[in-house]
Amino acid sequence: MRHWLFLMITASLSCNTLAEQFNVQSPDSDIRVVVDITAGKPSYSVTYKGKPVIRSSNLGFQIRDQAPLQDNLSVLTEDREVIRQQWQTVWGERLQINDHYNELSLQLREQNGDKRTLGLTFRVYDDGLGFRYEFPEQANLQDFIIDEELTEFAFAQNYQSWWIPAYRNQRYEYQYLRSAVSSIDVAHTPLTLQGDGIAIAVHEAALVDYASMTLRNIDDNQKVFRADLVPWANGVRVYASAPMKTPWRTIQIADSAVALMNSDLLLNLNEPNKLGDVSSYVKPGKYMGIWWEMHTGLANWSPGSDQGATTERAKQYIDFAAQHDIDGVLVEGWNKGWEGEWWRREPTFLFDQPVDGFDIEEVSRYAQEKGLRLIGHHETAAGISHYEAQMERAFAYYQKLGITSVKMGYVGTRLENGKEWHHGQFMVRHFRKVVETAAKYGVMVNAHETIKDTGLRRTYPNLMTRESVRGMEYNGGSPDTGNLPNHTVLFPFTRGLSGPTDYTPGVFKFDYQKHRPFNRVPTTLAKQLALYVTIYSPLQMAADLPEHYQGHPAFKFIDDVPADWSESIALAGEVGEYLVFARKDRHSDDWYVGAASNELPRQYALVTDFLDSGAIYQVEIYADGEAAHWRDNPMDYIITQRTLHAGETLILDMKPGGGAALRFVKQ
């Protein structure tokens, strides 16, 4: 159910005067944008609290077989809107979202040549801005190819930045680099920057039918970047037909990096729910699954003697899940096609045929009997046409079995037998098709190795979560190049800004001597619990094996912690150092806090002023034990309970690679 509050003032001016500079600012006036069309060349600049953030930066396009669309433009119309509204999420980090912005829309027309028309809209919020281009219907621009988007970001300072490289083999699955922005070659977004008392993140919203934007340093070793759209295999950046709108180019701005995580800019810039009432199948929750035992070498995706996906093993998971507050059980390797080195060949997966030894009908029935659901799995090995040919049937199959959630994978360095990038318009189109097909059959989507998040979950609320990060799997897999202890307190400041992350926390057994002697999960157990709060996902995995959870009182936190929130507050943190989040359960008055550190120990004084003023809470604290250390002693934890008045301060003592998880139950 959604409540809309509208307050809209529209001032539409049709002006034939030669106005060349247009100002638009955030409701609180801290962010000011100047759009300049001097000498026919559009550009923009941004300041925050009087300090420059983006210096004059070009706008425009290179359309194939046409003159550059960035010169000789004059302003045809200027429209302004003042929006103060609020909307309600279907699920998410918070229930109510304020959508307050000031908008400037310009229609620009070329003064000569093809006299093409280009729209340019800026929306300025208190937490950042978005701008996009619009190609209205017109005679000289109908079906066309975008060879280059000329949008620039001329950073005002040589900010410190955190980023992952684009155009590499492992998609978004890199640990983050920290450097002066001048040292970046080409980076994926979100790109997070900090300096001069300002934190900035550049990304995009509503990537619906376009290539994803990467940012390229246009003058190596300097600090002016240009949108670099990930191309199709044939070099085309975008196939477009007017009328069309590009995604929003977003610049989130705040006083600190941690404050960026409280921004709703991306969701606000996406279209409202197109699916209507999805409450019959869209349910945030927790899941377990036959998966980590494959990564740690105990079982295999392939059929045969070490086959992970068996009816018996699935029932063990279901039995454990049914005794706990776990809503779904995933089974990877359940279907035919996993034989041998499946990632090296043309895909052979069949999406409606279970492998021998796995009775999917029985397992799904058993799960439902126990009050939960089997979670489907579609690994495509990056073979898109192979998958699309079966896709409709595959989702219908799940619907028939009562499966309402699917985890998907696109393992491979390029799509379609090495041809297409994971981040071009090709993948954007494919993935939207997946999400729409899943919705048609009442299935939630959790996608790995897919295109980055740009907030489309608002429009398609069955699009729950995705990986697009170097996940927990790297800590278990072979070779033994796991994530550093700082990774989990870094990516929420970068990747995390884009949306939910299926990182899969919850590992309680930290080494795998037999098959993975050199592997380690680089946290303490208490920090694993903290990740359920510091990393947001509406589908949150309990990644470890049932037998590894047995006898651990700490599992109660995983039982208790919800996956859907009415409020979320990033309380404190520094990129790659530590992070503290407080979130309120959407379905009770309980609050949860997660605090996580990198490899350094640290204390954090948690002021509980987010709790209901005057109320009393029972607080359960899961903390690192005195001798806890991610390297030598990760399983040392202590659970304490006490009564607390809202507003009291708790000292959280995090050990190296450690953290703390807290549950506040209102009395």
Contact set with its own copies (CB under 8 A) = 156, 158, 160, 164-165, 168-170, 173-180, 182-183, 185, 195-196, 219-224, 470, 479, 481-484, 487, 518, 631
Residue 532 buriedness (CB in 10 A; 0-12 / 13-18 / 19+): buried
Shortest distance, position 196 Cβ to its own copies, whole Å: 8
Residue 105 tokens, joined: 């829309």
Residue 145 tokens, joined: 């190819």
C-beta of 178 vs 552, nearer to its own copies: 178
C-beta of 168 vs 419, nearer to its own copies: 168
CA atoms within 13 A on the CB side of 38: 9
DSSP state for residue 211 in the 8-state scheme: P
C-beta of 356 vs 511, nearer to its own copies: 511
Residues 6+ apart with CB under 8 A from 344: none
Residue 417 buriedness (CB in 10 A; 0-12 / 13-18 / 19+): middle
Alpha carbons 148 and 146: distance in angstroms, whole number: 6
Shortest distance, position 656 Cβ to its own copies, whole Å: 12
Shortest distance, position 599 Cβ to its own copies, whole Å: 9
Alpha carbons 70 and 270: distance in angstroms, whole number: 26
Shortest distance, position 62 Cβ to its own copies, whole Å: 23
- The answer to whether the beta carbons of residues 211 and 244 sit under 8 Å apart is no
Please list the alpha-helical segments (H only) found in 154-220. Answer: none
Shortest distance, position 65 Cβ to its own copies, whole Å: 30
Please list the alpha-helical segments (H only) found in 246-359. Answer: 257-260, 265-268, 292-295, 311-322
How far is C-alpha 538 from the geometric centre of its chain's CA atoms? 11
Active site residue 467: no
DSSP state for residue 300 in the 8-state scheme: B
Residues 6+ apart with CB under 8 A from 659: 523, 524, 526, 527, 528, 529, 530, 531, 534, 594, 595, 596, 597, 624
Shortest distance, position 626 Cβ to its own copies, whole Å: 21
C-beta of 228 vs 264, nearer to its own copies: 228
CA distances from 160 to 152, 156, 196, 223, 392 (A): 19, 12, 10, 11, 46
Shortest distance, position 350 Cβ to its own copies, whole Å: 30
Beta pairing partners, 563: none
Alpha carbons 432 and 440: distance in angstroms, whole number: 12
- The answer to whether the beta carbons of residues 257 and 574 sit under 8 Å apart is yes
C-beta of 142 vs 170, nearer to its own copies: 170
Alpha carbons 88 and 91: distance in angstroms, whole number: 9
CA neighbor of 420 nearest in space, from 382, 466, 378, 452? 382
C-beta of 169 vs 513, nearer to its own copies: 169
Query: Checking phi first, is residue 70 left (phi over 0); if not, alpha (psi -120 to 50) or beta?
Result: alpha
Residue 193 tokens, joined: 């920057």
Question: Of residues 93, 110, 379, 473, which has the active-site annotation?
Answer: 473
CA neighbor of 73 nearest in space, from 97, 105, 108, 49? 108
Alpha carbons 206 and 268: distance in angstroms, whole number: 10
Beta pairing partners, 448: none
Shortest distance, position 485 Cβ to its own copies, whole Å: 10
Residues 6+ apart with CB under 8 A from 648: 608
C-beta of 219 vs 306, nearer to its own copies: 219
Shortest distance, position 603 Cβ to its own copies, whole Å: 19
C-beta of 154 vs 318, nearer to its own copies: 154
CA atoms within 13 A on the CB side of 371: 8
Q: To which H or E segment does residue 615 belong?
A: none
Shortest distance, position 330 Cβ to its own copies, whole Å: 24
Shortest distance, position 168 Cβ to its own copies, whole Å: 6
How would you label 246-270 residue by residue, b for 16+ Cβ within 10 Å and e otherwise?
A: bbbbbbbbbebbbebbbbbbbbbbb
Centre a 10 Å sphere on the Cβ of residue 442 and count the other Cβ atoms it contains: 18
Shortest distance, position 199 Cβ to its own copies, whole Å: 15
Name the residues annotated as catalytic. 473
